[in-house]
C-alpha cells in the first residue's frame, strides 16, 4: 500500500510533516536510521508507519513506563495491536502478551530496556524476530547523557540476536557529540541521520538578568504588558524549586487565574490543575520542570523561566511548548549569576568528585564486602558522608567499576569506569556552561539552538524576533531600566581603557584572564558580566563565543573586542548608559547571592550531620529494607536501584498511607509511585 494511503487509513492524517516521508521510506526499506527532531515533531510515526508497512512485529524500547503506557493506549485507540511488558504489569498480563507475540497477533511490542536482561526473554523474542526495532529516547544510551543507563549500554549486544531487523533510534535531545555516541553504542555506524526541525519561527526569545527576589514582579509585568497588545496568556512559568513555584504562584494569584504544579503535590491535585489549565479555567501555571510532559495545549502564548535552566536541551524542550498553534509566542528567561551557583551546588552533589570514586574502587576487592564495611574501608583521613558515598557507589556501579549484588555487597569491577565517568561528568558540567553561554551570547537566540543541536538542514538565518535580533532589551523592561551607579561607571571606564590599551589586539581572552585583565579591581563576577552585557547591547564591544580543541577537549572562550562606538565613548556617554533589566545595584546582587549560598551550605551541613548518625534502624526502615532486598533479588539489581537508603528513611519518617501522600515524600517521583507505590504502602501499613 502506498505510504500516503497507509497514513490516512491507519493514522487518519492526510499529509506527512517535515521529512517524515523520507524517514519512513528509509526505515521501511530496511536502513538503520538516527532521527533527531524536537518533541512534538512527530517522531513516533517514523517507526509506526514503516513498522506496519514491513509487516510483523515492531519492537519498541522505551525507558519510561508512563511513556510506554501512553503510546500503547494511543495505538490501541487507533485499532492497532499494541501491547507492553514491564515491571508495572502483572505476571498474567505479561504471559498473555508473550503468547500473543509468539502467535503473531501483535503489531507493536513495547518494553523497557532492562527487560532484555531478564533470562528467557530475549530467547522468547528470537523465536519470532521483530521486523523493526525502534529505540525511543535514544539519548539514554549515550555515556555522556545524564539519563545514561547501563541497560541501554548493553542494548547493542542484546539486540544482536534479534537482527537483521533495521534499528531506528529516536530522540529529541542530542547534541552532535551525543548523536555520534548513540550510533556507536548501538552498533549502527552507517545509520542514515536525520537531524532537523529545530527552528521555531513564531517564538520570540528574550533573556533578562533579574534577581530571584524580583522575579514574581517581573513575571506579572511581562504577562500584564503582553496582554495589552496580544494576550500573553495562557502562560507557563518554570521555577527551579518547588518552594519557588509556590512563592511565585502566591504573588501571581493577585493578578491572574494562577495555579501551582510540582511533583510534590498529590496526583489528584496535579491532575486537577492540569485539567483546569487545559480547559482554560486557569491562565497561568507556575511549575517545576515536572510539568509539561505530554501536555498538548496549542495556544500557550508565554513560557517564562524564572531561573536558569539546567541544560540547553531541557530549556529548548520547555520553551517549545509555547505557540504550538503557530501564532506568535514568547519565551522569556529571567536569570542571575546566583543561579549558576545553585547549579554548581547540585552538580557537586550529583556527580561526586572522581577521587571519591577512586577511593571506593581501591577499597573494593574480588571478595564481596558489605556496603557499610566498604565505606569504612574506603575512608582516608576523612569519613565519607553516607549520601555522597551512596551517590559515588551508584556512579561507580553504573560505569562498571564495581559489581553490587541485591544484598548490597560490593566487589571490584573493571578499571575503565573512570574514563566514562569523567566523560559523563565533564559533559554535565559543560552543559551548565552552555546555558551560561546562551544567556550571555550576543547573537541570535534561535541560531544558538540550531548550532547546539547541529541542525544543518536549516539554512541558518537569524530569527529576526529575539531580543538580539530586535536590538536589545524588550519593551517589558525598558521602563525598569536604571542608570549605572558610581562603581559601575568606573567599572565601564576601566573595561574600556583596558581594551584600548592593548588587550584588544590579544583578541582571544579566556574566561579567567577576561576577568583579571578587564576587571582588575575585582568587581563581583555577576556585576562584571552585567556591564559586559550592557556594553555589548550598546554595540560598544562585541563578545563572541569561540572554541578550540586541546588534548581532545573543546576549550570554550570568549573573544571580547572593542568596537568603534566604545572607542570614541566619553564619560558623559557612560553616564547615559542604562542597565535595562537588572534590579538593584551590582553590589546588592553580589551580596545577596553570597548570603544565599552560605545559607544553603549551612542547611546541607546540618542535614549531613543528621544523616551521619549511626542510629539503629526503626522497624519501618527494617521492613522497607527487607522488601527492597526481595525486590532487588527478584530483578537482579543492587538494592539502591530500587530505593536509596535516604528515601527509605524519609518514607519511614513521614509514613504515608495513600499514593498521593507517598508522592509528597522527598525523593519519590511519579515513576517510583507507579512502579512500587502499592507495595511500599502495604509494607508500611503492615507495621500498624
Ligand atoms: P515526538 O515523539 O516527536 O515528540 P509524537 O510522535 O508524539 O512526537 O507526535 C506528536 C503529535 O503529532 C502526535 O499527537 C501525533 O499524532 C501528531 N502527528 C504526527 N505526525 C502527524 C502528521 N503527519 N499529521 C498530523 N499529526 C501528526
Ligand atoms: Mg516521542
Residue 110 Cα, ligand 2 centroid: separation in angstroms? 13
Residue 44 Cα, ligand 2 centroid: separation in angstroms? 6
Output the pLDDT for position 295: 74
pLDDT greater than 90 at residue 319: yes
Residue 86 Cα, ligand 2 centroid: separation in angstroms? 18
Phi, psi of 319 (to 5 degrees): -70, -20
In the DSSP assignment, the letter for residue 191 is -
Across residues 616-640, what is the average pLDDT?
A: 83
Across residues 527-553, what is the average pLDDT?
A: 74
Q: Which of 118, 634, 624, 677 is nearest to 406 (CA)?
A: 634
| Span 612-621, pLDDT tens digits | 344 456 788 8
Domains of the chain (ranges; CATH) run: 3-195 (3.40.50.300), 203-343 (3.40.50.300), 351-427 (1.10.10), 480-593 (1.10.10), 619-685 (1.10.150.80)
Output the pLDDT for position 510: 44
**Using CA atoms, how far apart are residues 543 and 550, in angstroms rounded to an integer?**
22
Output the pLDDT for position 549: 64
CA-closest residue to ligand 1 atom 9: 42
Residue 422 grid coordinates:
569523567
Residue 29 Cα, ligand 2 centroid: separation in angstroms? 22
Q: Point out the ligand nearest to the CA of residue 321.
A: 1
CB atoms near residue 168 (< 10 Å) = 31
> 411 Cβ partners below 8 Å, 6+ apart?
364, 365, 366, 367, 368, 369, 402, 403
Q: How far is CA 622 from the centre of its chain?
A: 34
pLDDT greater than 50 at residue 574: yes
Residue labelled with grid coordinates 534561535: 446
Output the pLDDT for position 75: 97
Mutate to test the pocket of ligand 1, among 17, 19, 42 (most ligand atoms within 8 A of CB): 42
The pocket around ligand 1, CB under 6 angstroms, is made up of 13, 16-17, 20, 37, 39-45, 172
Question: Residue 405 region, left (φ>0) first, then alpha (ψ -120 to 50), else beta?
Answer: beta
Output the pLDDT for position 592: 44
Output the pLDDT for position 237: 97
Output the pLDDT for position 273: 93
CA-closest residue to ligand 1 atom 17: 42
Residue 392 grid coordinates:
559515588
According to DSSP H, which parts of 301-370 are helical?
Answer: 312-319, 337-350, 354-363
Check if the beta carbon of residue 83 is closer than 8 Å to that of residue 109.
yes
SS3 237: strand
The dihedral built from the CA positions of residue 134, 136, 139 and 140, taken in this order, carries a sign that is: negative
Nearest atom, ligand 1, residue 20 CA = 23
Mean pLDDT comparison of 51-55, 269-273, 510-514, highest-scoring range: 51-55
Across residues 75-94, what is the average pLDDT?
A: 93
Output the pLDDT for position 217: 92
CA-closest residue to ligand 1 atom 5: 42
Residue 39 Cα, ligand 2 centroid: separation in angstroms? 6
Nearest atom, ligand 1, residue 14 CA = 24
pLDDT greater than 80 at residue 686: no
| Span 376-389, pLDDT tens digits | 898 876 777 888 89
pLDDT greater than 50 at residue 433: yes
CA-closest residue to ligand 1 atom 18: 42
Q: Point out the ligand nearest to the CA of residue 47.
A: 1
Check if the beta carbon of residue 329 is closer than 8 Å to that of residue 466.
no
CB atoms near residue 501 (< 10 Å) = 8
Q: Which of 358, 353, 356, 355 is nearest to 412 (CA)?
A: 358
| Span 118-161, pLDDT tens digits | 899 999 999 999 999 999 999 888 866 656 667 777 888 899 99
Residue 134 Cα, ligand 1 centroid: separation in angstroms? 16
pLDDT greater than 50 at residue 507: no
Provide the pLDDT confidence category of residue 476 given band limits of 50, 70 and 90.
Answer: low
| Span 357-368, pLDDT tens digits | 999 999 999 999
**Using CA atoms, how far apart are residues 589 and 609, in angstroms rounded to an integer?**
31
In the DSSP assignment, the letter for residue 217 is H
b/e 362-375 (16+ beta carbons within 10 angstroms → b): ebbeeebbebeebb
Residue labelled with grid coordinates 519557588: 244
Element (H, E) at 396: helix 386-398
Question: Angle CA(482)–CA(492)–CA(473) in degrees, nearest 5?
Answer: 40
Check if the beta carbon of residue 139 is closer than 8 Å to that of residue 181.
no
Residue labelled with grid coordinates 490501541: 76
**Using CA atoms, how far apart are residues 150 and 633, in angstroms rounded to an integer?**
18
pLDDT greater than 60 at residue 603: no
Residue 331 Cα, ligand 1 centroid: separation in angstroms? 23
pLDDT, the chain, mean:
84
**Using CA atoms, how far apart are residues 532 and 147, in angstroms rounded to an integer?**
35
Output the pLDDT for position 586: 44
Check if the beta carbon of residue 190 is closer than 8 Å to that of residue 223.
no
According to DSSP H, which parts of 115-232 are helical?
Answer: 121-126, 150-153, 155-160, 176-185, 215-229
Residue 508 grid coordinates:
582571544
pLDDT greater than 60 at residue 474: no
Provide the pLDDT confidence category of residue 418 given band limits of 50, 70 and 90.
Answer: very high
pLDDT greater than 60 at residue 238: yes
SS3 395: helix
In the DSSP assignment, the letter for residue 145 is S
CA-closest residue to ligand 1 atom 19: 42
CA-closest residue to ligand 1 atom 12: 42
Nearest atom, ligand 1, residue 37 CA = 3
Residue 43 Cα, ligand 1 centroid: separation in angstroms? 7
pLDDT greater than 60 at residue 292: yes
Phi, psi of 422 (to 5 degrees): -60, -40
pLDDT greater than 60 at residue 685: yes
**Using CA atoms, how far apart are residues 261 and 654, in angstroms rounded to an integer?**
21
Residue 13 Cα, ligand 2 centroid: separation in angstroms? 17
Cis amide linkage into residue 121, ω under 30° from 0: no
Across residues 106-114, what is the average pLDDT?
A: 94
> 319 Cβ partners below 8 Å, 6+ apart?
203, 205, 303, 305, 331
* Between 466 and 519, the higher pLDDT residue: 466
Residue 295 Cα, ligand 2 centroid: separation in angstroms? 12
Nearest atom, ligand 1, residue 43 CA = 3
**Using CA atoms, how far apart are residues 554 and 512, in angstroms rounded to an integer?**
16
pLDDT greater than 80 at residue 318: yes
CA-closest residue to ligand 1 atom 26: 13
Mutate to test the pocket of ligand 1, among 9, 16, 17, 44 (most ligand atoms within 8 A of CB): 44
Output the pLDDT for position 605: 46
Nearest atom, ligand 1, residue 39 CA = 4
Check if the beta carbon of residue 527 is closer than 8 Å to that of residue 490.
no
> 477 Cβ partners below 8 Å, 6+ apart?
208, 218, 221, 580, 581
The burial class, CB within 10 Å (0-12 / 13-18 / 19+), for 2 is exposed
Residue 543 Cα, ligand 1 centroid: separation in angstroms? 39
In the DSSP assignment, the letter for residue 412 is E
Residue labelled with grid coordinates 558489605: 370
Residue 236 grid coordinates:
507557563
> 415 Cβ partners below 8 Å, 6+ apart?
361, 401
Residue 64 Cα, ligand 1 centroid: separation in angstroms? 18
Nearest atom, ligand 1, residue 46 CA = 6
Question: What would you report as the CA-atom Rg of the chain, rounded to the nearest whole angstrom?
Answer: 27
Output the pLDDT for position 590: 45
Residue 292 grid coordinates:
509539561
Report percent pLDDT > 90 for the chain. Answer: 42
SS3 422: helix
Q: What is the pTM of this model?
A: 0.71
Residue 34 Cα, ligand 2 centroid: separation in angstroms? 13
Nearest atom, ligand 1, residue 13 CA = 24
Residue 41 Cα, ligand 1 centroid: separation in angstroms? 6
* Between 604 and 211, the higher pLDDT residue: 211
* Between 192 and 518, the higher pLDDT residue: 192
Across residues 314-341, what is the average pLDDT?
A: 90
CA-closest residue to ligand 1 atom 21: 42
In the DSSP assignment, the letter for residue 164 is T
pLDDT greater than 80 at residue 458: no
Q: Are strands 482-483 and 578-579 parallel, antiparallel or unpaired?
A: antiparallel
Provide the pLDDT confidence category of residue 220 given band limits of 50, 70 and 90.
Answer: very high
pLDDT greater than 50 at residue 582: no
For 371, half-sphere exposure in the C-beta direction (CA atoms, 13 angstrom radius) is 21
Across residues 463-480, what is the average pLDDT?
A: 72
Mutate to test the pocket of ligand 1, among 45, 60, 64, 320 (most ligand atoms within 8 A of CB): 45
C-alpha torsion angle, residues 127, 69, 651, 117 (rounded to 10)? 20
- Using CA atoms, how far residue 124 sits from 91, 128, 130, in Å, is 15, 8, 11
Q: Point out the ligand nearest to the CA of residue 135.
A: 2
pLDDT greater than 50 at residue 325: yes
pLDDT greater than 50 at residue 512: no
Amino acid at each position: 500500500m502506498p505510504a500516503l494511503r497507509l497514513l490516512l487509513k491507519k493514522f487518519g492524517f492526510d499529509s506527512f510533516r517535515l521529512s517524515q516521508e523520507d524517514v519512513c521510506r528509509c526505515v521501511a526499506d530496511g536502513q538503520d536510521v538516527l532521527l533527531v527532531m524536537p518533541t512534538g515533531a512527530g517522531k513516533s510515526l517514523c517507526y509506526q508507519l514503516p513498522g506496519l508497512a514491513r509487516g510483523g512485529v515492531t519492537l519498541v524500547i522505551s525507558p519510561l513506563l508512563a511513556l510506554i503506557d501512553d503510546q500503547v493506549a494511543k495505538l490501541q485507540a487507533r485499532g492497532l495491536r499494541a501491547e507492553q511488558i514491564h515491571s508495572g504489569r502483572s505476571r498474567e498480563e505479561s504471559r498473555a502478551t508473550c503468547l500473543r507475540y509468539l502467535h503473531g497477533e501483535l503489531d507493536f511490542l513495547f518494553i523497557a530496556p532492562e527487560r532484555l536482561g531478564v533470562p528467557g526473554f530475549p530467547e522468547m523474542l528470537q523465536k519470532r524476530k521483530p521486523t523493526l526495532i525502534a529505540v525511543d529516547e535514544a539519548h539514554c544510551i549515550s555515556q555522556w547523557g545524564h539519563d545514561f543507563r547501563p541497560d541501554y549500554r548493553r542494548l547493542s549486544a542484546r539486540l544482536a540476536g534479534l537482527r537483521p531487523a533495521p534499528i531506528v533510534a529516536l530522540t529529541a535531545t542530542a547534541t552532535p557529540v551525543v548523536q555520534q555516541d548513540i550510533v556507536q553504542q548501538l552498533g549502527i555506524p552507517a545509520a542514515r541521520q536525520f537531524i532537523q526541525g529545530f527552528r521555531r519561527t513564531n517564538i520570540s526569545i528574550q533573556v533578562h538578568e533579574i534577581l530571584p527576589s524580583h522575579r514574581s514582579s517581573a513575571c506579572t509585568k511581562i504577562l500584564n504588558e503582553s496582554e495589552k497588545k496580544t494576550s500573553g496568556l495562557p502562560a507557563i512559568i518554570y521555577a527551579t524549586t518547588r518552594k519557588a513555584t509556590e512563592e511565585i504562584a502566591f504573588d501571581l494569584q493577585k493578578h491572574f487565574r494562577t495555579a501551582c504544579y510540582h511533583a510534590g503535590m498529590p496526583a489528584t491535585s496535579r491532575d486537577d490543575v492540569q485539567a483546569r489549565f487545559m480547559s482554560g479555567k486557569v491562565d497561568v501555571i507556575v511549575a517545576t520542570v515536572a510539568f509539561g510532559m505530554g501536555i498538548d495545549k496549542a495556544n500557550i502564548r508565554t513560557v517564562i523561566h524564572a531561573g536558569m535552566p539546567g541544560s540547553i536541551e531541557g530549556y529548548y524542550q520547555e520553551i517549545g511548548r509555547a505557540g504550538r498553534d503557530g501564532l506568535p509566542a514568547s519565551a522569556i528567561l529571567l536569570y542571575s549569576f546566583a543561579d549558576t551557583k545553585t547549579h554548581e551546588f547540585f552538580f557537586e552533589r550529583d556527580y561526586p568528585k572522581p577521587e571519591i570514586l577512586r577511593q571506593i574502587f581501591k577499597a573494593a576487592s574480588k571478595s564481596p564486602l558489605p556496603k557499610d564495611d566498604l565505606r569504612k574501608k574506603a575512608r582516608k583521613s576523612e569519613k565519607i558522608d553516607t549520601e555522597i558515598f551512596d551517590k559515588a557507589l551508584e556512579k561507580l556501579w553504573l560505569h562498571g567499576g564495581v559489581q553490587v549484588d541485591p544484598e548490597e555487597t560490593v566487589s571490584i569491577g573493571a578499571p575503565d569506569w573512570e574514563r566514562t565517568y569523567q566523560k559523563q561528568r565533564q559533559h554535565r558540567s559543560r552543559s551548565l556552561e552552555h546555558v551560561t553561554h546562551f544567556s550571555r551570547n550576543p547573537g541570535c537566540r534561535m541560531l544558538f539552538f540550531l548550532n547546539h543541536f547541529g541542525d544543518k538542514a536549516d539554512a541558518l538565518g537569524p530569527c529576526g524576533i529575539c531580543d538580539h535580533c530586535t536590538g536589545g532589551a524588550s519593551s517589558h523592561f525598558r521602563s525598569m531600566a536604571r542608570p549605572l551607579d558610581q562603581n559601575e561607571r568606573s567599572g565601564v571606564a576601566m573595561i574600556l581603557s583596558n581594551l584600548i590599551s592593548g588587550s584588544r589586539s590579544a583578541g582571544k581572552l579566556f574566561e579567567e584572564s577576561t576577568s583579571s585583565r578587564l576587571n582588575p579591581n575585582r568587581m563581583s563576577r555577576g556585576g562584571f558580566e552585567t556591564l559586559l552585557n550592557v556594553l555589548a547591547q550598546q554595540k560598544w564591544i562585541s563578545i563572541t563565543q569561540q572554541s578550540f580543541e586541546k588534548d581532545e577537549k573543546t576549550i570554550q572562550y570568549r573573544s571580547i573586542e572593542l568596537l568603534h562606538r566604545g572607542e570614541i565613548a566619553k564619560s558623559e556617554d557612560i553616564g547615559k548608559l542604562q542597565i535595562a533589566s537588572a534590579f538593584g545595584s551590582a553590589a546588592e546582587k553580589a551580596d545577596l547571592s553570597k548570603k544565599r549560598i552560605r545559607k544553603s551550605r549551612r542547611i546541607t551541613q546540618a542535614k549531613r550531620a543528621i544523616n551521619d548518625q549511626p542510629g539503629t534502624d526503626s522497624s519501618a526502615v527494617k521492613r522497607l529494607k527487607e522488601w527492597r532486598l526481595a525486590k532487588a533479588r527478584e530483578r537482579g539489581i543492587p538494592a539502591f536501584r530500587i530505593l536509596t537508603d535516604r528515601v527509605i528513611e524519609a518514607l519511614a519518617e513521614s509514613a504515608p498511607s495513600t499514593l498521593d501522600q507517598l508522592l509528597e515524600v522527598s525523593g519519590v517521583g511519579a515513576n517510583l509511585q507507579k512502579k512500587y507505590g502499592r507495595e511500599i504502602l502495604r509494607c508500611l501499613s503492615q507495621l500498624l
